[in-house]
Amino acid sequence: MSAAVDYDSLFNGRGDYDRHKTLSSEIYLLERELGMRSFRDFHKMSWHVIEPAVALTENWHLDAITDHGQALARGEIKNLIINVP
Protein backbone atom coordinates (compact mmCIF):
# COMPACT_ATOMS: atom_id res chain seq x y z
CA MET A 1 0.00 0.00 0.00
CA SER A 2 1.46 3.39 -0.94
CA ALA A 3 1.53 6.36 1.40
CA ALA A 4 -0.51 9.44 0.56
CA VAL A 5 1.53 12.28 -0.89
CA ASP A 6 0.93 15.85 0.26
CA TYR A 7 1.49 17.71 -3.01
CA ASP A 8 0.87 21.09 -1.39
CA SER A 9 3.87 20.63 0.87
CA LEU A 10 5.98 19.37 -2.02
CA PHE A 11 5.25 22.44 -4.11
CA ASN A 12 4.98 25.04 -1.34
CA GLY A 13 1.18 25.15 -1.45
CA ARG A 14 1.18 27.88 -4.12
CA GLY A 15 -0.33 25.90 -6.93
CA ASP A 16 3.15 25.13 -8.24
CA TYR A 17 2.19 21.49 -8.74
CA ASP A 18 -0.33 22.32 -11.47
CA ARG A 19 2.14 24.69 -13.11
CA HIS A 20 4.89 22.06 -12.96
CA LYS A 21 2.56 19.42 -14.38
CA THR A 22 1.55 21.73 -17.25
CA LEU A 23 5.14 22.75 -18.02
CA SER A 24 6.27 19.12 -17.89
CA SER A 25 3.59 18.19 -20.43
CA GLU A 26 4.53 21.09 -22.70
CA ILE A 27 8.25 20.30 -22.48
CA TYR A 28 7.54 16.64 -23.22
CA LEU A 29 5.51 17.55 -26.32
CA LEU A 30 8.17 19.99 -27.55
CA GLU A 31 10.98 17.48 -27.04
CA ARG A 32 8.92 14.79 -28.75
CA GLU A 33 8.33 17.02 -31.78
CA LEU A 34 12.00 18.02 -31.90
CA GLY A 35 13.07 14.38 -31.73
CA MET A 36 10.70 13.47 -34.56
CA ARG A 37 12.04 16.25 -36.78
CA SER A 38 15.75 15.78 -36.16
CA PHE A 39 17.63 12.51 -35.74
CA ARG A 40 20.56 14.51 -34.33
CA ASP A 41 18.38 15.94 -31.55
CA PHE A 42 16.71 12.57 -30.95
CA HIS A 43 20.14 11.00 -30.50
CA LYS A 44 21.19 13.64 -27.97
CA MET A 45 17.92 13.39 -26.01
CA SER A 46 17.93 9.59 -25.94
CA TRP A 47 21.60 9.00 -25.17
CA HIS A 48 20.87 8.35 -21.48
CA VAL A 49 18.81 5.33 -22.58
CA ILE A 50 21.42 4.02 -25.04
CA GLU A 51 24.38 4.27 -22.63
CA PRO A 52 23.10 5.24 -19.16
CA ALA A 53 26.49 4.99 -17.45
CA VAL A 54 28.37 6.98 -20.09
CA ALA A 55 28.14 10.74 -20.60
CA LEU A 56 27.59 11.81 -24.19
CA THR A 57 30.69 13.42 -25.65
CA GLU A 58 29.51 15.37 -28.66
CA ASN A 59 31.81 15.56 -31.65
CA TRP A 60 31.63 16.19 -35.38
CA HIS A 61 31.47 12.52 -36.31
CA LEU A 62 28.20 11.98 -34.39
CA ASP A 63 26.69 14.97 -36.17
CA ALA A 64 27.87 13.59 -39.52
CA ILE A 65 26.39 10.15 -38.82
CA THR A 66 23.03 11.50 -37.63
CA ASP A 67 22.80 14.05 -40.45
CA HIS A 68 23.51 11.39 -43.08
CA GLY A 69 21.00 9.04 -41.45
CA GLN A 70 18.42 11.82 -41.56
CA ALA A 71 19.16 12.46 -45.25
CA LEU A 72 18.77 8.75 -45.96
CA ALA A 73 15.41 8.66 -44.14
CA ARG A 74 14.19 11.67 -46.15
CA GLY A 75 15.23 10.03 -49.41
CA GLU A 76 17.80 12.72 -50.18
CA ILE A 77 20.49 10.06 -50.60
CA LYS A 78 19.97 6.51 -51.82
CA ASN A 79 22.96 4.58 -50.48
CA LEU A 80 24.90 4.99 -47.27
CA ILE A 81 27.76 3.08 -45.71
CA ILE A 82 29.03 4.13 -42.29
CA ASN A 83 32.26 2.59 -41.05
CA VAL A 84 33.11 3.05 -37.40
CA PRO A 85 36.53 1.85 -36.25
pLDDT single digits (tens) 2-45: 455 454 554 455 556 666 677 788 888 888 888 888 999 989 88
pLDDT at 79 over 90: yes
Q: How far apart are CA 70 and CA 19, in angstroms?
A: 35
pLDDT score of 10: 47
Q: How far apart are CA 55 and CA 33, in angstroms?
A: 24
Contact 18, 25 (CB under 8 A): no
pTM (global) more than 0.85: no
Picking from 45, 35, 46, the residue whose alpha carbon sits closest to that of residue 70 is 35
